[in-house]
């Protein structure tokens, strides 16, 4: 079940909240509702989700009570258990295929099993690891109630695609939370904005992106290839940012304050800034649980470069078990190393418009590898983008209809707009403008009705991050 579906909007959501708001057993209700939500799409993996909750609950209690070296070894065992589950389901096929390629065709290859990937396993595995490490560090005590902990692990707003909510961020709300009218209305508004971003922008451009990337290089022209990557850049941003806004809004309606996950990343002036604004819960997770323990920025320059490269290689692998994701992670790691080695000093001297253009171009080039099916596919696509067209392509209008052009223009405008760079007097005037507040409710209502009409019409409704 996805948030942007008729089933969720008109069946699950009203029934669940109708029970949730009037019961005294909110944590149990949320746990059971989350299990129903997950079972709707992946019933076979509900036991795995509950087993993961049990594993982390038990190891958290053991780590919390232990001392000395035993505390350390229990942490290692808990983290390793989480990683082994993730590796089995997500990387077994990739690792065996890589091994078969390494030994060559003259030796008997190992059989590569087809293992279904449980929805959201990358997110709730990292969630469990952060819990164990924070308990080990003494940042939080272990949760004594299994129901409360299982509810934290399975909360449906962030279960499938994040944000990666750390236990310490919601520990107080798990024990006691007040849900006021302002929380409900604010959360509902953010949910409706996210729904419109997903349905009206991301879904609208998704067909164009998929069709163009589905063409062979002989059917591409440079212009059409650029339209494809522009469409995909808009699609992936509003696909994930929209879903994150819906998750954060739902969390607010439940009484939780989830962390922000996107902050105008396409308006960044460098790749370093981009990663402070894109998928913030993931980038901060890698920073706090891998980069800093490796030494962070407290070590020598070459060790810093190594740490950055390793972190982003793993970040690429986290997104998917394919060489395209490895290259994507390596690309971002390389750019961050270059900026760390002096590139950021050069960028600081350049006009903002050039810095923005550089960042957008670098991100879009990376998205080619992220979207392509294989590395050769990505390389050939990039070659066409920069003029190496080998065939006669159809006019771009055949693949990018007017609706997609409008969605791209609106999406790009909203993504590049930075209100915090406007003069403070203008910002305050906008906040105080009564006409904007008056228009807010009818605008949200209109966005909801148009979004629902689009979903009811059976329009294309993919979700990129379900793969991760």
- Reference 153, options 128, 133, 118; nearest CA is 128
Handedness of CA 312, 197, 211, 41 (dihedral sign): positive
Q: According to the model, what pLDDT value does residue 140 have?
A: 95
Confidence of residue 434 (pLDDT cuts 50, 70, 90): low
CA gap 445, 443 in Å, rounded? 5
Q: State the first-to-last Cα distance of the chain, in angstroms, to the nearest integer.
A: 16
Looking up tokens 């403008």, which residue turns up? 433
The pTM of this model reads 0.93
Mean pLDDT, rounded, for 255-282:
95
Q: Which of 168, 154, 166 is nearest to 118 (CA)?
A: 154
Residues whose CB falls within 8 Å of the CB of residue 388, separated by 6 or more in sequence, listed in order: none
Q: What pLDDT digit, counting tens, does each position of 123-153 carry?
A: 999 999 999 999 999 999 999 999 999 999 9
How high is the mean pLDDT of the chain? 91
Give the pLDDT confidence score for residue 441 in this predicted structure: 86
The predicted model gives 375-397 an average pLDDT of: 83
State whether the Cα torsion 384-360-235-436 is positive or negative: negative
Radius of gyration of the chain (CA): 23
* Least confidently predicted of 172-176, 388-392, 398-402, 404-408: 388-392
Q: Are 231 and 209 in contact (CB under 8 A)?
A: yes
Cβ–Cβ under 8 Å, residues 174 and 27: yes
Q: Give residue 188's pLDDT band: very low, low, confident or very high (50, 70, 90).
A: very high
Residue 468: HSE in the Cβ half-sphere, 13 Å Cα cutoff: 19
pLDDT at 397 over 90: no
pLDDT at position 156 over 80: yes
Q: What is the pLDDT of residue 123?
A: 93
What burial letters (b/e) apply to 91-111, b meaning 16+ CB within 10 Å?
Answer: beebeebeebeeeeeeeeeee
Residue 170 pLDDT > 90, yes or no? yes
Q: Residue 60 — pLDDT band, cuts 50, 70, 90?
A: very high
- According to the model, what pLDDT value does residue 110 have? 85
Can you give the pLDDT at residue 457? 83
- Which among 173, 157, 166, 126 is positioned nearest to 245, based on CA atoms? 157
Nearest to 454 by CA among 189, 198, 233: 198
Distance CA 177, CA 210 (A): 43
Contact 49, 118 (CB under 8 A): yes
Residues carrying an active site annotation: 319
Please tell me the distance from the alpha carbon of residue 425 to that of residue 338, in angstroms, as a whole number.
Answer: 37
């Amino acid at each position: 079940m996805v948030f942007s579906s008729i089933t969720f909007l008109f069946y699950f959501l009203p029934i669940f909240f109708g029970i949730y708001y009037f019961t005294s057993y909110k944590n149990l209700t949320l746990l059971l509702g989350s299990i129903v939500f997950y079972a709707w799409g992946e019933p076979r993996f509900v036991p795995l989700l509950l087993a993961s909750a049990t594993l982390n609950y038990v190891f958290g209690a053991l780590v919390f009570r232990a001392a000395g070296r035993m505390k350390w070894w229990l942490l290692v065992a808990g983290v390793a258990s989480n990683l082994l589950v993730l590796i089995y389901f997500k990387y077994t096929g990739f690792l065996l295929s890589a091994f078969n390629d390494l030994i060559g065709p003259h030796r008997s290859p190992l059989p590569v099993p087809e293992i279904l990937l449980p929805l959201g396993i990358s997110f709730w595995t990292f969630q469990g690891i952060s819990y164990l490490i924070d308990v080990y560090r003494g940042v939080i005590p272990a949760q004594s109630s299994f129901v409360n902990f299982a509810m934290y692990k399975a909360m449906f707003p962030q279960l499938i695609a994040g944000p990666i909510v750390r236990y310490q961020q919601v520990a107080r709300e798990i024990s006691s939370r007040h849900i006021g009218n302002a929380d409900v209305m604010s959360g509902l508004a953010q949910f409706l904005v996210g729904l419109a971003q997903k349905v009206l922008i991301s879904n609208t451009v998704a067909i164009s992106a998929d069709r163009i990337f589905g063409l062979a290089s002989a059917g591409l022209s440079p212009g059409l290839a650029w339209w494809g990557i522009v469409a995909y850049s808009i699609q992936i941003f509003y696909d994930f940012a929209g879903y994150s806004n819906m998750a954060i809004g739902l969390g607010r309606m439940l009484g939780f304050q989830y962390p922000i996950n996107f902050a105008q990343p396409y308006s960044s002036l460098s790749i370093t800034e981009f990663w402070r604004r894109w998928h913030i819960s993931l980038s901060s997770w890698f920073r706090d649980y891998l980069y800093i323990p490796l030494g962070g920025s407290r070590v020598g320059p070459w060790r810093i470069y190594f740490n950055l490269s390793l972190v982003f290689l793993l970040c690429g692998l986290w997104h998917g078990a394919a060489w395209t994701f490895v290259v994507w992670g390596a690309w971002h790691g390389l750019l961050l190393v270059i900026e760390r080695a002096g590139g950021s000093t050069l960028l600081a001297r350049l006009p903002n418009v050039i810095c923005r253009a550089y960042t957008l171009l670098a991100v879009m080039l990376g998205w080619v590898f992220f979207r392509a099916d294989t590395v050769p596919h990505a390389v050939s696509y990039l070659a066409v983008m920069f003029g190496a067209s080998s065939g006669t392509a159809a006019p771009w209008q055949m693949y990018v209809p007017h609706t997609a052009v409008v969605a791209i223009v609106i999406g790009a405008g909203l993504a590049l707009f930075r209100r915090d760079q406007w003069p403070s007097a203008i910002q305050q005037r906008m906040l105080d403008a009564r006409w904007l507040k008056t228009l807010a409710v009818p605008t949200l209502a209109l966005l909801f009705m148009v979004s629902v009409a689009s979903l009811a019409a059976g329009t294309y409704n993919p979700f990129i991050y379900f793969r991760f």
